[in-house]
Chain A
Amino acid sequence: MSFATFGLAGTIAGALALVALLYLLQRLRARRRVVHLPAAALWAQAMREAPARALGGRFRHWLAFALIVAIALALWLAAAHPQAAPAETGASRRFYLDNSALLAPAGELARAKRALLADVRATPAQRRAVFLGDAAGTRLLAPGESDSLLARRLDLVTAEARPSGFGAWLRRTGESGPGDTIRYYGGWPVLRDATPAAPRGTAVQPGYLARAVPDNRGIVALGATPARSGMAGRADILVAVAAARGESPSPSALRWTLDGKPFAPTSVENAGGGQYLVRNVAATGQVLQVTLAGNDGFPQDDAAALRLPDRTPLRVALLGGTPDVVRAAIAADGGLTIVPAASAQVAIGDAGATGSLALPALVFTDPARQGRAFAFAEPDNAAKGALADRLDELGLAQVDASAIADALGKPIGVDITQGARRRVGVWRALFAPDSPFALDAAMPIFLAQSLRWLGNADGWRPYAKAGAPIPDQSRLYGLPDRAGADLLGVATRIDAAPVALTDRAVTLAAADTSARPAVAPEGGALPADLPFVLLVLAAGLLLAAEWWLLQRGLIA
């Protein structure tokens, strides 16, 4: 038997301390019954003549003391959470709680947690470890840690609408000793498909398998692409649906919203195989959500959302100090619209004209104020590195820096600093009519890319799928918003954009009703908590007995 809360030594020490404390209390403090007698004065006289009660006097009420000690010890031992000693095999147990989409339906994760806790308690503390099925494979319980910690940590675990990472985790797991076991708590198809990847000598067992939803159907893909019609600022939407049984849902089963408002596509084109196309949707940065009508018991794949790109022209304000060369280049760019400063996304002008506006700005300056020819300011310090790596995207690679330096008589350099908002500072002399830069074909590219970076204009993100890398289109559209290719962990939001489950394998796995292995609890038929339950029961019975005896005046 082991004690989960205090350990053996702590439990014994606490029990002894309790007995001693109760003994002292029994001696020092007696519960008194009230007796009404008119001769209290004579009793007081008798008391005055009797020797005072002393701690070392004769001890009475042995039976009452024994009863109280029994109750206190039962409660104390219950608080120590004794557990039946699991069989010692020498092999290690790893427990994997796959909190992915298959455990997301109501009640599944709670049942899996209960099974996990029971199994963990039935395993020697030194030979067990518990892992969570997130992207990092977080270890919930290290060998030797108390399972009471696991209970508290599990309280923070929620199911996430994303594909399982168990197979990948299993492949990352190294070789283990003979007889080692991995117990899995999640979906049966995941376990079945991942088991072959288990390390040699390691048995993979089910600890809990989520119930199948045989009639599951769901949205398995949602994406956007520039409209095939060639209309600027329009996108074509593809949505794919699948059903485990019978026909795929028809377009009439789909509900569409844009920024939460109902949206009725003019036509939905059936592309076959459960795929539907909606063409020429205005790409203005709205959130498009598609919902599958009906309730099939697995709601995680019944809705998907995508933020459409904002393909509207960037609004810029041309303020004082803007060179004519720049005015001409901007006027020629169809992706830019010249508007008053009040409605602009980006301001263009000299420091005096742009300084009073709370807008990202392209500022024309001079060498006296700015040491380098090009200066970029970025509020996110962490993004400075990414910006430095991708400066070529601004067209600066094509610039003949030596020719410009010769013309200006100054070296050309680039500086990246941190500022309150995005800002690009360029020497005004670079845009003089006879400047090599003004005559360079890279100048309009630099202007266009710089202004889009300043306007934080997003690249085109064709889809955002949970568990998949962020589609990085920055090579096509300019500087990235984020560096790298992060895994989209859950079906939540990233950069204010929703992420959808949209995984055909998960949708079909949720409906998998194939024969599955029986799940046997770890540690045999008797629950590991049996000693704890018995102690609580005993304490309750003893308390009831004490109350009964007290009510009948049989104990003090």
Chain B
Amino acid sequence: MTDVASARFEALFDPAFLARVNAMTLRIAAAQKGGRLAEQRTTARGQGSDFADFKPYVAGDDLRAIDWNIYRRLGKTFVRVFEERQDLPVYLMLDASRSMFAEAAPRIDPAMRTALALAATVARQHDALSLLSFGDDLATRLRNMSGKGAIVQVARALSEQAPAGGTALAAALTHLAAMRLRRGLVVIVSDFFDDDGLEGVLQALGRLPHRLLLVQMTRASDADPTLLHDLYGDVSIEDGEREAGLSVTITDELIARYRAAYRGFTDALDGFVQQRGATLIRVDADRDVIDQLSPVLANGSIVL
């Protein structure tokens, strides 16, 4: 582990930070059957503590599940069936493109804290966590981790993350869809600034057979560039992903056009989330991430 990665790991794997994550949960309306026993509600009937229904006894049923009161009243044997809780496969995708590393205070740091908070939540619920990162390509960093022991591995994998090229989110999503994974929850932590445009990203998201939780890393200056004190006159805008900077002469007219473009960008993202029934959390990179995640994820206040 390099010095930078080591320092980043120390900053990430902070007990105080992880303690604040304990209050967060990720609940899904109904997980797909076929997983391990865990805490997510499913349509599967079997062992569990939540009563679901009666069914006539057939040979092979557990004799301990026969409801003897019904037998006494009706003279027929019925057994009680319970809702079986299983784990949820969670695919946590972190944007590791160079634009996330570009600024003086890069967004990758709060993005990693966000990813770790979500991963810790998933691990604590004994759900199956897979960690993926994407830049030019999609890379699987961890697969089917669960339990508290997974948190250290996630923190280490995150801290070792290096810039991975440009933002090719649409291609990464297409790749993910082609992997035919067990249906679960896809969590994407990204700025969603794809050079090929948001339209391709949204189309690829629409093709995913998973539930979606989108975490957009933002800054106030994204919507209002006048907050940037050095953005005036003739500048070269570099996002780390282009060979040459974008030569721009900042004018009021151009700022107005940028604002319109950014509004269109956020409107498109919001529209997709609403249409798809996904969830979008906007995290301001300049504020504490737990403070921003807690209102949404605390005590199961969101059911995906």
A and B interact physically: yes
Interface residues of A (CB under 8 A from B): 30-47, 49-50, 53, 60-61, 553, 556
Closest to B222 in A: A39
* Cβ-closest 7 pairs across A and B: A30-B234, A40-B239, A38-B99, A46-B257, A46-B258, A32-B236, A556-B233
Q: Which listed residue (B100, B195, B234, B238) contacts A31, Cβ 8 A? A: B234
Which residues from chain A contact B240 at a C-beta distance below 8 Å? 36, 38
CB of B234 within 8 A of CB of A556, answer yes
Which residues from chain B contact A36 at a C-beta distance below 8 Å? 102-104, 237-240
CB of B228 within 8 A of CB of A35, answer yes
**Is B231 positioned at the interface, with any CB of A under 8 Å from its CB?**
yes
Q: How far is the CA of A35 from the CA of B231 in the complex (A)?
A: 7
Known: A36-B104, A41-B193. A49 touches B236 (CB 8 A): no
CB of A40 within 8 A of CB of B261, answer no
Closest to A31 in B: B234
Which residues from chain A contact B257 at a C-beta distance below 8 Å? 46, 49-50
Q: How far is the CA of A134 from the CA of B257 in the complex (A)?
A: 80
CB of B246 within 8 A of CB of A40, answer yes
Which residues from chain A contact B41 at a C-beta distance below 8 Å? none
Q: How far is the CA of A50 from the CA of B100 in the complex (A)?
A: 27
Known: A33-B230, A33-B233, A47-B246. A40 touches B254 (CB 8 A): no
Which residues from chain B contact A41 at a C-beta distance below 8 Å? 193-195, 197, 239
Q: How far is the CA of A60 from the CA of B103 in the complex (A)?
A: 28
CB of A40 within 8 A of CB of B262, answer no
Nearest chain B CB to A47 CB, angstrom units: 6
Nearest chain A CB to B238 CB, angstrom units: 5
Known: A30-B249, A32-B236, A556-B233. A38 touches B254 (CB 8 A): no
Q: How far is the CA of A188 from the CA of B22 in the complex (A)?
A: 103
* Interface bits B225-265 vs A (CB < 8 Å: 1, else 0): 10010110111111111100111110101100110111001
Q: How far is the CA of A553 from the CA of B228 in the complex (A)?
A: 14
Q: How far is the CA of A73 from the CA of B231 in the complex (A)?
A: 31
Which residues from chain A contact B87 at a C-beta distance below 8 Å? none
* Interface bits B180-215 vs A (CB < 8 Å: 1, else 0): 000000000001011101000000000000000000
Closest to A47 in B: B248
Q: How far is the CA of A36 from the CA of B194 in the complex (A)?
A: 16
Which residues from chain B contact A37 at a C-beta distance below 8 Å? 102-103, 225, 228, 231, 237-239
Give the number of residue pairs across the A-B interface with Cβ within 8 Å.
100
Q: How far is the CA of A47 from the CA of B242 in the complex (A)?
A: 16
Q: Which listed residue (B103, B195, B197, B235) contacts A32, Cβ 8 A? A: B235
CB of A40 within 8 A of CB of B237, answer yes
Which residues from chain B contact A30 at a C-beta distance below 8 Å? 233-234, 249
Closest to B230 in A: A35
Nearest chain B CB to A33 CB, angstrom units: 5
Which residues from chain A contact B230 at a C-beta distance below 8 Å? 33, 35, 553
CB of A35 within 8 A of CB of B242, answer no
CB of A42 within 8 A of CB of B258, answer yes
Which residues from chain B contact A553 at a C-beta distance below 8 Å? 230
Q: Which listed residue (A38, A44, A49, A53) contacts B249, Cβ 8 A? A: A53
CB of B233 within 8 A of CB of A38, answer no
Which residues from chain A contact B103 at a C-beta distance below 8 Å? 36-38
Task: Give 19 A-B contacts (CB < 8 Å), ordered by A residue.
Answer: A32-B234, A32-B236, A33-B234, A35-B235, A36-B237, A38-B99, A38-B193, A38-B239, A38-B240, A39-B191, A39-B222, A40-B246, A42-B262, A42-B265, A43-B258, A47-B246, A49-B261, A50-B253, A556-B234
Q: How far is the CA of A33 from the CA of B249 in the complex (A)?
A: 10
Closest to B265 in A: A42
CB of A46 within 8 A of CB of B239, answer no
CB of A34 within 8 A of CB of B238, answer yes
Interface centre among B107, B237, B239, B242 (most CB of A within 10 A): B237
Q: How far is the CA of A230 from the CA of B228 in the complex (A)?
A: 108
Which residues from chain B contact A45 at a C-beta distance below 8 Å? 261
Which residues from chain B contact A39 at a C-beta distance below 8 Å? 191, 193, 222, 239, 258, 262
Q: How far is the CA of A38 from the CA of B169 in the complex (A)?
A: 14
Nearest chain B CB to A153 CB, angstrom units: 49
Known: A33-B235, A36-B240, A50-B254. A42 touches B261 (CB 8 A): yes
Q: How far is the CA of A553 from the CA of B235 in the complex (A)?
A: 12
Which residues from chain B contact A42 at a C-beta distance below 8 Å? 193, 258, 261-262, 265
Which residues from chain A contact B195 at a C-beta distance below 8 Å? 41
Nearest chain B CB to A370 CB, angstrom units: 89
Nearest chain B CB to A365 CB, angstrom units: 91
Nearest chain A CB to B248 CB, angstrom units: 6
Closest to A40 in B: B239
Nearest chain B CB to A64 CB, angstrom units: 10
Which residues from chain B contact A38 at a C-beta distance below 8 Å? 99-100, 102-103, 107, 191, 193, 239-240
Nearest chain B CB to A368 CB, angstrom units: 93
Nearest chain A CB to B192 CB, angstrom units: 10
Nearest chain B CB to A240 CB, angstrom units: 82
CB of A33 within 8 A of CB of B236, answer yes
Q: How far is the CA of A60 from the CA of B262 in the complex (A)?
A: 27
Nearest chain A CB to B169 CB, angstrom units: 12
Known: A41-B195, A41-B239. A34 touches B245 (CB 8 A): yes
Which residues of chain B from 84 to 133 have a CB within 8 Å of any chain A CB? 99-100, 102-104, 107
Closest to B234 in A: A30
12 new A-B contacts, CB < 8 A, other than A32-B236, A40-B245, are A30-B249, A34-B238, A35-B228, A35-B231, A35-B237, A40-B242, A42-B258, A43-B248, A45-B261, A46-B254, A50-B251, A556-B233
Which residues from chain B contact A53 at a C-beta distance below 8 Å? 249
Which residues from chain B contact A44 at a C-beta distance below 8 Å? 246
Nearest chain A CB to B102 CB, angstrom units: 5
Q: How far is the CA of A556 from the CA of B195 in the complex (A)?
A: 29
Closest to B103 in A: A36
Which residues from chain B contact A34 at a C-beta distance below 8 Å? 235-236, 238, 245
Closest to A556 in B: B233
Known: A40-B246, A42-B193, A42-B265. A35 touches B238 (CB 8 A): yes
Which residues from chain A contact B253 at a C-beta distance below 8 Å? 50
Q: How far is the CA of A45 from the CA of B239 in the complex (A)?
A: 14
Which residues from chain A contact B238 at a C-beta distance below 8 Å? 34-37, 40
Closest to A61 in B: B233
Q: How far is the CA of A42 from the CA of B242 in the complex (A)?
A: 13
Nearest chain B CB to A318 CB, angstrom units: 94
Nearest chain A CB to B190 CB, angstrom units: 10
Q: How far is the CA of A241 from the CA of B240 in the complex (A)?
A: 87
Nearest chain A CB to B211 CB, angstrom units: 27
Q: How far is the CA of A44 from the CA of B238 in the complex (A)?
A: 11
Which residues from chain A contact B231 at a C-beta distance below 8 Å? 35, 37
Nearest chain A CB to B164 CB, angstrom units: 14
Nearest chain A CB to B228 CB, angstrom units: 7
Q: How far is the CA of A65 from the CA of B260 in the complex (A)?
A: 33
Known: A38-B193, A42-B262, A43-B237. A32 touches B247 (CB 8 A): yes
Nearest chain A CB to B123 CB, angstrom units: 29
Q: How far is the CA of A152 from the CA of B10 in the complex (A)?
A: 72
Q: How far is the CA of A470 from the CA of B254 in the complex (A)?
A: 90
Closest to B107 in A: A38
Which residues from chain B contact A32 at a C-beta distance below 8 Å? 234-236, 245, 247
Interface centre among A30, A33, A39, A53 (most CB of B within 10 A): A39
Closest to A44 in B: B246
Which residues from chain B contact A31 at a C-beta distance below 8 Å? 234
Q: How far is the CA of A116 from the CA of B249 in the complex (A)?
A: 56
